[in-house]
Structure 1
Amino acid sequence: MAFSFKKLAATALVLMPVVLPTSAGALDDAQKKEIGDFIKEYLIANPEVMLEVQDALEKKQQAARLEQASAAVKENKDALFASSHDITLGNPKGDVTVVEFFDYNCGYCKRALSDMDAILAKDKNVRFVLKEFPILGPESQAAHKVSDAFRKIAPEKYGDFHRALLGSEGRAGEESALEVAASLGVTEEAIRAKMAESPNDESVKEAYQLATSLGITGTPSYIVGDEAVFGAIGSDAIEEKVANVRSCGQTAC
Structure 2
Amino acid sequence: MRPIAVLPTAALLALIALPAPAETFTEAEIKQLALDAILENPQIVMEAAAILQERDAARAQAEAQSTMTENRDLLERDANAPVVGNPDGDVTVVEFFDYNCPYCKRAGDEVGKLLAEDGQVRVVYREWPILGEGSVFAARAALAAREQDGYAEMHEALMGARGRLDESTVLEIAEEVGLDVARLRRDMDAPEVQAHIDTSMELAQSLGFTGTPSFVIGETLAPGLIDADQMQDIVKGVREGG
Corresponding residue for residue 128 of structure 2: 133
Which moves more between the two structures, 136-145 or 192-201?
192-201
Cα offset, 1:103, TM superposition:
0.9
1:222/1:19 CA distance change after superposition, 3 Å: same
Corresponding residue for residue 242 of structure 1: 235
2:160 pairs with one of 139, 163, 167: 167
Structure 1: tracts of 5 or more residues without a match = 1-17, 44-48
1:19/1:190 CA distance change after superposition, 3 Å: closer
> Which amino acid in 2 is paired with 1:39?
N
> Which amino acid in 2 is paired with 1:108?
Y
> Which amino acid in 2 is paired with 1:225?
G
Aligned residues: 222
Corresponding residue for residue 219 of structure 2: 226
Q: Does 1:39 align with 2:34?
A: no
Corresponding residue for residue 142 of structure 2: 147
1:67/1:188 CA distance change after superposition, 3 Å: same
Q: Does 1:74 align with 2:73?
A: no
> Which amino acid in 2 is paired with 1:222?
F
Q: Does 1:84 align with 2:79?
A: yes
1:56/1:98 CA distance change after superposition, 3 Å: farther
Alignment check: 8 A CA contact 1:139 1:172 kept: yes
The TM-score with structure 2 as length reference comes to 0.77
> Which amino acid in 1 is paired with 2:96?
F
Q: Does 1:201 align with 2:201?
A: no
Structure 2: tracts of 5 or more residues without a match = 1-16
Measured on the aligned residues, the alpha-carbon RMSD in Å equals 3.1
Structure 1 or 2, whichever has the larger Rg, is 1
1:128-150 Cα shifts (integer Å, max 9, x gaps) = 11011111111111111111111
Corresponding residue for residue 119 of structure 1: 114
1:234/1:56 CA distance change after superposition, 3 Å: farther
Corresponding residue for residue 180 of structure 1: 173
1:39/1:218 CA distance change after superposition, 3 Å: same
Cα offset, 1:63, TM superposition:
4.3
1:226/1:31 CA distance change after superposition, 3 Å: closer
Alignment check: 8 A CA contact 1:147 1:177 kept: no
Cα offset, 1:224, TM superposition:
0.8
1:21/1:67 CA distance change after superposition, 3 Å: same
Distance (Å, rounded) in 1 between the aligned partners of 2:36 and 2:100: 55
